[in-house]
Amino acid sequence: METPLQRFLIRLGVFVVMVVICVPGLWVVMTAFRDNVEVMARPPVWIPQAWTLDNFRSIFGLSATQQGIPVASYFVNSVIIAVTSTVLAVLIGMAGGYAFARYNFRFKKASFLTLMLSRTVPGISLSLPVFMIWSRIGLIDTDFGVILVYLALNIPFTIWLIDGFFRQIPHELSEAAKIDGCTAWQAFWKIEFPLAKSGVASAGIFAFLTSWNEFALASQLTRTTASKTLPVGLMDFTAQFTVDWTGMCAMAVIIIVPALVLTFIVQKHLIAGLTFGGVKG
């Protein structure tokens, strides 16, 4: 079958791939805990000589060298916006996905297509008219304005994933429950929902990641600490001529950690959600 040489080459290949995936992120994380002098040093210092939390202190405004970038309020905004839009998108997506999976109705194909095509509109192109309308009705720089937009971004994909999952659950299960005396509502929550849980979980994760990471729309629809999110805040560091590398890396760590933690918690649902929601849907 496999010669030792082949096995070695395969392992080497996988190792190289892992290095390419990990090194950029690790490099950023490492910089976040390093001194600015060490980062700028010539010749380069590869192994950090001293670890420091100063970069985090300074971006949160806790050190003598005030940065003046209100990362804490960006973080709060990000959490509020991402959590609210995720929860609502999952609820609305579940209703919509269930409708597509269980019912036949007029314009079914057309409405599905409309939903999917609405997702393809590039964020920056959508931002132009939304910016014009939101500024007229006073939604610019509010959490609500951003949440509403993210909800619209997340609903189509959520419906697509959840629809695929409900379709795999045999229709007969809920019918049997109804014969046994459940109402339609009970049959849904007690029989069908538990079976579609991993689809709902993966839809939720994708919605959260989209909202947490989105930049193009948020950068135009938010102005101040009232609604600015972390990805938009990251650009604050490049507003000057010199880029504050260590500060930006610390900010990057703050953006990535919540997404990372959350994804690992539900990771087993993720791949299943993507592949089987898609293939069989």
Partner 1 sequence: MQSFTRRFSPPFLLLLPAFVIIAAVILIPLVFSLYTSFTNYRLVQPASLWQWVGLRNYQRIFSDIDFWWAFGRTVVFLTIALNLELVLGLGIALLIDRITTGQRVIRTIMMFPMMFSPILVGFQFKYIFNDNVGLINNAIQSLGWSNVTIPWLVNGWTANFAILTAEVWMSTPVFAILLLAGLMAMPRDPIEAAKVDGCNSWQVFRHITLPFLLPFIYIAMAIRSLDVARAYDMVKIMTNGGPAGRTELLWTLLARVGYQDARMGMANAMSYVSILLSIYFTYYFFRKLATARASLGSMA
173 binds partner 1 (CB under 8 A): no
Counting contacts by CB under 8 A, is residue 226 touching partner 1?
no
Site string for partner 1, 246-265 (x = CB under 8 A): --xx--x--xx--xx--xx-
Q: Does 209 bind partner 1 (CB under 8 A)?
A: yes
The residue type at 170 = P
Among 111, 142, 168, 225, which residue sits at the site for partner 1 (rule: CB under 8 A)? 111
**Residue environment code for 128-149, b if the CB has 16+ CB neighbours within 10 A, otherwise e:** eebbeebeeeebbbbbebbbbb
Using CB under 8 A, pick the residue from 14, 62, 176, 265 that binds partner 1: 14
Q: Residue by residue, what is the 3-state secondary structure of 228-261?
A: CCHHHHHHHHHCCCCCCHHHHHHHHHHHHHHHHH
Nearest to 158 by CA among 9, 18, 274: 274
Among 53, 62, 116, 226, binds partner 1 (CB under 8 A): 116
Write down the least CB distance from residue 1 to partner 1, Å: 10
Told to check if 189 binds partner 1 by CB under 8 A, we report no
Amino acid at 157: F
Three-state DSSP class for 214? coil
Tokens of 67: 């940065």
Site for partner 1 in 15-44 (CB under 8 A): 17-18, 20-25, 27-28, 31, 39-40, 43-44
Token pair of 201 as six digits:
């979980």
Q: Tell me how many residues contact partner 1 (CB under 8 A).
A: 89
4 part of the interface to partner 1, by CB under 8 A? no
Is 204 a binding residue for partner 1 by CB under 8 A? The answer is no
Q: Which stretches within 169-244 are classed as H helix?
A: 171-179, 184-187, 193-195, 197-213, 216-221, 230-234
Q: Report the nearest approach of partner 1 to the CB of residue 201 (Å).
A: 15
Least distance to partner 1, CB of residue 65, Å: 19
Rounded distance, CA 66 to CA 59, Å? Answer: 8
Tell whether residue 200 is a contact of partner 1 (CB under 8 A): no
- How far apart, in whole angstroms, are the C-alpha atoms of residue 19 and residue 62? 35
For the purposes of burial, counting CB atoms within 10 Å of the CB of 93, is it exposed (0-12), middle (13-18) or buried (19 or more)? buried
Nearer to partner 1, 64 or 129 (CB): 129
Residues 41 to 70: which contact partner 1 by CB under 8 A?
43-44, 46
Nearest approach in angstroms of CB 67 to partner 1 is: 17
Site for partner 1 in 81-110 (CB under 8 A): 92-93, 95-96, 98-100, 102-103, 105, 108
